[in-house]
Amino acid sequence: MKHLIFLFALALPIIGTAQRPIHNQELSQEERTTLKVKKIQLALDLTQEQSKQLTEIFKKNQRPQPPKKKQDISSDERYQMRLKHLDHQIAIQNKMKTVLNEEQFAAWKKMQHSKKRRMAHQGKLSKSHNKHMHSKGRKEASKANKKQL
């Protein structure tokens, strides 16, 4: 009887994790673009014309999907991927400057910055960025970031 209880106690966490619903279902590229534009439209109070322009910008400049297995990437390939990603961000930023007015652009930049901080906090950015954010502490890091802006 003791063995049966012991096995049940071991199996209980496995049974519990198997019953979790799947929350991260994949959205299509068009759905992601629409959600992104709507979110920016709410935050920056965009006009319909600006929303249409942003939709076109995001559809034309879709971020390339990285390979699934990070272990199979050489350092040169990783470097090239990061260069492409940064070039993509620069292109988006330049196009956003043409669509948004100065006040909206400043708010958009602030949104992008807070998004990076959230991602770093969740562990989705590089470990070096995380170490930098956590080693200084939140107050010191936010003061340093405000000075940069």
pTM over cut 0.85: no
Assign 149 to helix, strand or coil: coil
Residues 105, 50: contact at Cβ < 8 Å?
no
CA distances from 42 to 35, 36, 39, 55 (A): 11, 10, 5, 14
Residue 38 and residue 92: Cα distance in Å, rounded?
17
Per-residue pLDDT of the chain (149 residues; tens, 9 = 90+): 777 787 777 777 777 666 555 555 677 888 888 888 898 888 888 889 988 998 888 888 776 666 666 667 788 888 888 898 888 888 888 988 888 888 888 888 888 877 777 777 666 555 554 454 444 455 555 555 555 55
Question: Residue 138: what pLDDT?
Answer: 55
Question: Residue 135: what pLDDT?
Answer: 47
Assign 15 to helix, strand or coil: helix
**φ/ψ (deg, to 5) at 5:** -65, -40
Residues in Cβ contact with 68 at an 8 Å cutoff, skipping those fewer than 6 apart: none
Question: Residue 66: what pLDDT?
Answer: 62
Assign 12 to helix, strand or coil: helix
Question: Residue 127: what pLDDT?
Answer: 52
